Structure formats: structure tokens, C-alpha cells
Amino acid sequence: MSYLEMQNITKSYGANTALEPLNLSLERGELVTLLGPSGCGKTTLLRIVAGFTVPSSGQVRIEGKDLTALPPSRREMGMVFQAYSLFPNLTAEENVRFGLRVRGMAAPLREKRVDALFELIGLTEARKRFPHQLSGGQQQRIALARALAPQPRVLLLDEPLSALDARVRTGLRDEIRRVQRETQTTALFVTHDQEEALAISDRVVVMNKGRIEQIGTPEDIYRRPATPFVAEFVGTVSRLEGRILEPQRGLVEIAGHSLEVRGALGRTEGEQVRLYLRPESLSLHHLDAANTGTMLEGRITERSFLGSITRLTLTLKNSDTLTADLQGAEAEGFPLGSSAGVKISPDAPQVVGIPS
């Protein structure tokens, strides 16, 4: 039995289905992220766990106990939202104290807890300030402290970083993760930002149109995407159109070449397919008399130097484009406009889908 379980949850608004039957479990102390485009049902699921939205069917359980009939106030969940939700007329420490007051904690104990929380988020000097005297990032740290103050059974965070600018966002992201780990709080984190999801999570749940596409560690999601949607939504991907030649051997014809692709095993001969590839799974080769005709061939049409890697775009004869990442020195051999052969690394993630 997992710590937090969502079982066969569905949600419809009239004829609109926001969530298809959905199952998800979190272990105690785990940080799990719901990742997906706007409108895919992330907030709906979070609100169902919190008790603000009643599911059309299904149950939410903690340690096996069904919470479905309990109101939000009795679920012992902490919430952090995107918009600054601090009480504007209360100071930072009054905001943090608020949740403890509501729960009737004795004053000496309560003040100890407030001290500890400000220490935890590293904002002791800002205790007496009002929200309008704090930066966006500081306000979100106070919101985090307020949510954690009563030691919630689950911490729910709905896009808590979306309103912040990029630099503050990565700093606060790491801060949330540190605090969540130190307090061993079980957390469900919502974001539409794939980089954020990969960086912060123990596991990522990729959602699309009210359905779960894949649940896995950040490495699983990135390296072994289960569906074309996951491959496209997370990280950079190149698409290659092809046709199945020999399903038994996984042979695919791409731009006049026959390539062995594990993901093509067992498909139908003659089927049109699309292959999805990560930039680091392609290697570039100089063409010479001996190897010409043995590889996919193209021309370098874009080139961006990113420091530790150089990202190259290669346009094939059939005008498909590929994105490849090369280590600094290696990339120097492939200037803009030059020709190159491409090989696909055998352990590359190889998602094969049907072109839509």
C-alpha cells in the first residue's frame, strides 16, 4: 500500500471530460510532479486531492483511509499556488503563524515552530515585513513556510514558480526541493515546464488531455519516453519519417537508407512511421569515398555554440531536419554549410509513432 493513492479518479464538467480514469500513487516523502500542457487536467487532479473539487468517480486515500468524503479543512494538506496568496494585511510571520493558530497550537510551541520555519527557508530577517515589501520569490518562500507550518500530510504545489522570472525560478526550485527533502514531506507538484519537472522530481507524471501518458523517474521520461507525446513534450527531439521494410528485423527505410530500429520490431510491413530521436543519440561523420552512401546524409543548416556542447541542425535531402549535440572540439569539424553523415546510436531512445 502506498502512502497517497488516487484510484480510478475521473472528472467531467457536463459533456467535457477533464480526467479519464486515472490511478496514481505516491510513497511517503516522495516528490511527484504532474507535467503537461495547459488544460490537461493537472489542477483538477490537485484540487481533487485537496478536496476543493469533487471527483465524478474514484477515491483519494492516505495510508489506506478514504478521504473522499472529508472537506479540505480536515484533510491536513498544505497548498502553495502560483499567484501570491499571502494575506496582504499580515506580516510574513503572521502569515506563517496563521495556520498554527487555526489548529489551536499552544503559544510557546507555536512560536518555536515559527522560528524553525523561518530558519528553514532562510528568511528570518524578513519576518516583520508585509507581503508588498517582499520580492515575488520571498513571498513564495513564505507561502511555502505557511503551508508546511502545520506539518501537512501532503504538500500540494500548483505552478508555484510560474509567475517568477527565470533566475529566481531556478533558485527557488532548488530551495523547494531542499526543504521538501529536509522535512521529508510527501509532495505533489504541478508544472507545465518540462525542465522544472525533470530537475525537481523523484518521479514525473506526464499528462495529456486528461490521461497519464507515462509515469517514471526523470531519467525514464527523458531517455525512455513511452509515447510520441512524451518524446515531443519533454526535451528536444528530431522527427524522421520512414516506412517499415522488415518488421522481424526492425528495418526501416528512411530517406533511401535502411536502418535498424529496435522500436520498429513487430510492426507492419509498409507502414508509415515516425521515429523520434534525442540530440545526443546522433553522431556526425565526415563523408569520404569509403563511407558515402552508407549513412543518412545532410548539410549543417544551423549551429549554436552552447559552451559545453554545440547544437547542430542537419537538413537531409528529403528536407527532414535533425538536431544533434556535439562536444565542443568535435563540433569544430562541422561548420555551417558543410556536409555530414549521421548515425543513430544503438542505445538511443527509439520511439516509433504513426505520423498524424
Q: What count of other Cβ atoms lies within 10 Å of the Cβ of residue 23?
A: 12
Tell the smallest beta-carbon distance from residue 9 to Mg ion (Å): 16
DSSP string spanning 27-87?
A: -TT-EEEEE--TTSSHHHHHHHHHTSS--SEEEEEETTEE-TTS-GGGS-EEEE-SS--S-
Of the candidates 280, 277, 283, 292, the one whose C-alpha atom is nearest the C-alpha of residue 242 is 277
* Residue 81 or 276 having the CB closest to ligand ADP: 81
Residues from 266 through 295 that contact ligand ADP (CB under 6 A): none
CB 335 within 8 A of CB 284: no
Q: Which does 205 bind (CB under 5 to 8 A by kind): ligand ADP, Mg ion, none?
A: none
- Candidates 37-45, 85-93, 257-265, 345-353: pick the segment binding ligand ADP (CB under 6 A): 37-45
92-102 vs 107-121: helix axis angle to the nearest 10? Answer: 130
Tell me which residue has its CB nearest to Mg ion: 43
Q: Is the dihedral of CA 317, 321, 325, 331 positive or negative?
A: positive
Tell the smallest beta-carbon distance from residue 42 to ligand ADP (Å): 4
- Residue 254 is placed in which grid cell? 528512411
- Candidates 19-27, 40-48, 64-72, 228-236: pick the segment binding Mg ion (CB under 5 A): 40-48
- Candidates 10-18, 87-95, 102-110, 223-231: pick the segment binding ligand ADP (CB under 6 A): 10-18
Which residue of 24, 41, 176, 234 would you call a contact of ligand ADP, by CB under 6 A?
41
- Candidates 35-43, 167-175, 228-236, 334-342: pick the segment binding Mg ion (CB under 5 A): 35-43
d(CA 69, CA 83): 28
Of the candidates 271, 301, 296, 273, the one whose C-alpha atom is nearest the C-alpha of residue 284 is 296
Which residue of 4, 30, 35, 43 would you call a contact of Mg ion, by CB under 5 A?
43
Q: Which residues of the chain form contacts with Mg ion (CB under 5 A)? A: 43
Q: Which residues of the chain form contacts with ligand ADP (CB under 6 A)? A: 13, 16, 18, 36, 38-44
